[in-house]
Amino acid sequence: MKQVLALDLGASNGRAILGKYDGEKLYLQEIHRFENIPIEEENTLYWDIEALFFEIKNSLRLAAHISHLDSVGIDTWGVDFGLLDSAGNLLARPVHYRDRRTEGMSKKAEKILTKEKLYQLTGNQILDINTLFQLMSLKERNVKQFEQINKLLLMPDLFNYLLTNTAKTEITIASTTQLFDPYKKKWSKEILNTFHIPESMMGELVEPGATIGNITPVLAEELGIAEIPVIAVGSHDTASAIASVPCNEEFLFISSGTWSLIGTEIKQPIINETSLYYNITNESSADKTTSLLKNIAGLWMIQETKRQFEREGRIYSYSELAEIAQHAKPFNCYLDTDYLEFQHPGNIPKRIRQYAAATDQYVPNTDAEIVRVIYESLALKYRLVIEEIQEVIGKEYSIVNIVGGGAQAEILCQMTANAVGKKVIAGPAEATAIGNIIVQLIGSGAIQDLQQAREIVKSSFRLVEYQPKDEQLWKQHYEIYCHLLKVGRLHP
Ligand code: LFR
């Protein structure tokens, strides 16, 4: 029996999941779950790095006391980073990408390097949150701090460093930065030079599956555990989630969590006018292929809406929210779920009402109506993006695999099947942790390769199929939705 620990830091929480592999099936055991709440100080949104590292240590201690651990791997969302000074200490708390400091930064960058060139060199979708634009913003606001940087470590790399004292950068997370050459799988010298970012600041790159080092003797002693190897997994949570898609044929995936990452796996990056036009990204996947995907809003609006209802004293579980939404009138109002104002923390229901009024639509009033319009608009947007991806690849797919927490949202899975007109296979819900575990097991040779791993996932976890329903009705509303988007009516 191989036993490895996956630490997955997501937007709603962090989780420590023990993966046990008996040579045939994979079993998961949740060891610890903790909050991941950003800190707001002087108008800046930061990672609560101390609390998270405390919980990571806690997770290790708890897991190691339950069972022997062969290794541990950490994944987080992309683009965010910590900065080290020349003594190897953190220069400041890492800033969270939902901070507003990067608003408009990609436009400024385009004055230095055209959008076309930025895309051609990195294959990354141009999003203000990308590491390059965060760095530009830092330089603009605090050049002194920028000059003190000795090493930039992306968040999983930073946690690996805190555990092992070894500073390395794993490739899947590097590929989210807009600083990375997706063909050579190296830092892009041209981007670094153009934006005056010293190459020495960037970490030495390692492949997923590589061992970063062992937990330092001091830490092992503090925790009363062995000096466990720390593995660079697909440390970008999306790369981990995609690794667990239970399919060995060509597939479309929706990695459904706070964000929705929609795309497919391809052998070589696709960087051309159409992919730029649709703002589709090329990221490195956990097994050397490329994930061609688009990053659009996901369950964030539902999560934030649930929190707002709570603040107002109405407590719902996610299944209760889905239940009330089922009974609300369909297609009351359409949202562009990627509208900027929906991306920041706060009172989302209120913003939806303001948005509906400003776009001359029915104003959703009840909790049920609010939740329904979010789910419906997400499903409509999924169809749009799937059509874009298919156009870029030049191929039609017949099945959509939904992995991640959203695979449990039956309402959204069914609406997706209806909107897209394709069969949906939902699961596994614990995709990110499973992908993290798989890469550790491949790294140690316990599993041969990703193909074998995907068969193991298929036989180890519950998958649910959804067939499209009411296709005509959804098609009709999809057409209206596309029209409204096209003529700018969904942007107040
Ligand atoms: C998903 C994700 C996306 C990335 C976004 C911000 O959790 O990692 O892939 O674009 O978060 O980093």
* DSSP per position, 68-97: --SEEEEEE-SS-EEEE-TTS-BSSPPBPT
Cβ(337)–Cβ(296) below 8 Å: yes
* Distance from Cα 77 to the centre of ligand 1, integer Å: 5
pLDDT category of residue 467 using cuts at 50, 70 and 90: very high
- Give dist(CA 94, CA 8) in Å, integer: 17
pLDDT category of residue 119 using cuts at 50, 70 and 90: very high
Quick one: which atom of ligand 1 is closest to the CA of 258? 7
pLDDT category of residue 288 using cuts at 50, 70 and 90: confident
Cβ(267)–Cβ(281) below 8 Å: no
pLDDT reported for residue 46: 97
* Distance from Cα 351 to the centre of ligand 1, integer Å: 23
* Token output for 257: 């969590």
**Active-site amino acid positions:** 237
Q: What mean pLDDT value characterizes the chain?
A: 97
DSSP 202: B
Instruction: Summarize pLDDT for 227-265 with one digit per residue, the tens.
Output: 999 999 999 999 999 999 999 888 999 999 999 999 999
Whether the link from the prior residue into 492 is cis, omega within 30° of 0, is: no
Question: Cβ < 6 Å from ligand 1: which residues?
Answer: 77-79, 97, 129, 176, 236-238, 257-259, 261, 295
Instruction: Tell me the best of 242, 295, 344, 385 to mutate to test the pocket of ligand 1, counting ligand atoms within 8 Å of each CB and taking the most.
Output: 295
* Token output for 1: 């029996």
- Give dist(CA 29, CA 5) in Å, integer: 10
pLDDT reported for residue 246: 96
Kindly state the average pLDDT of the residues 429-449: 97
Q: pTM of the full predicted structure?
A: 0.95
Quick one: which atom of ligand 1 is closest to the CA of 255? 1
3-state secondary structure of 236: strand
Q: What is the ipTM of this complex?
A: 0.95
Which positions ≥6 away from 240 have C-beta within 8 Å? Answer: 8, 75, 233, 234, 286, 431, 432, 433, 434, 435, 436, 439
Instruction: Summarize pLDDT for 34-64 with one digit per residue, the tens.
Output: 999 999 998 999 999 999 999 999 999 999 9
Which positions ≥6 away from 158 have C-beta within 8 Å? Answer: 49, 81, 82, 90, 94
- Give dist(CA 441, CA 136) in Å, integer: 38
| Number of C-beta neighbours around residue 462 at 10 A | 9
Kindly state the average pLDDT of the residues 211-235: 98
Question: In 107-177, which ranges are E strands?
Answer: 151-154, 168-170
Kindly state the average pLDDT of the residues 476-488: 97
Residues paired with 21 in a beta bridge: 2, 26
Instruction: Tell me the best of 9, 12, 79, 173 to mutate to test the pocket of ligand 1, counting ligand atoms within 8 Å of each CB and taking the most.
Output: 79
Buried b (16+ CB within 10 A) or exposed e, 83-104: bbeeeeebbebbbbbbbebbee
Instruction: Summarize pLDDT for 295-347 with one digit per residue, the tens.
Output: 999 999 999 999 999 999 999 999 999 999 999 999 999 999 999 999 989 99
Quick one: which atom of ligand 1 is closest to the CA of 281? 10
- Give dist(CA 201, CA 185) in Å, integer: 17
Cβ(47)–Cβ(76) below 8 Å: no
With CA atoms as reference, report the closest residue to 205 among 145, 256, 243, 154: 154
Which positions ≥6 away from 379 have C-beta within 8 Å? Answer: 412, 415, 416, 418, 419, 420, 474
Cβ(385)–Cβ(262) below 8 Å: yes
pLDDT reported for residue 248: 87
3-state secondary structure of 253: strand
Residue nearest to atom 11 of ligand 1 (CA): 77
Helix, strand, coil content of the chain in percent (nearest 5) = 45, 20, 35
Quick one: which atom of ligand 1 is closest to the CA of 236? 8
- CA 382 to each of CA 199, 319, 378, 418, 480: distance values in angstroms, whole numbers, following the listed order: 38, 21, 6, 11, 15
pLDDT reported for residue 155: 98
- Give dist(CA 234, CA 265) in Å, integer: 14
Residue nearest to atom 2 of ligand 1 (CA): 77
pLDDT category of residue 450 using cuts at 50, 70 and 90: very high
Residue nearest to atom 7 of ligand 1 (CA): 77
Identity of the residue numbered 406 = G
Cβ(317)–Cβ(338) below 8 Å: no
Task: Please compute Rg for the chain using Cα positions.
Answer: 22
- CA 333 to each of CA 146, 153, 259: distance values in angstroms, whole numbers, following the listed order: 45, 43, 22
- Give dist(CA 197, CA 120) in Å, integer: 19
Residue nearest to atom 4 of ligand 1 (CA): 78
pLDDT reported for residue 12: 79
Kindly state the average pLDDT of the residues 425-448: 97
Residue 404 has pLDDT above 90, yes or no: yes
Q: How many CA atoms lie within 13 A of 424 on its CB side?
A: 33
Segment (H or E) for 40:
strand 39-41
Instruction: Summarize pLDDT for 360-391 with one digit per residue, the tens.
Output: 999 999 999 999 999 999 999 999 999 999 99
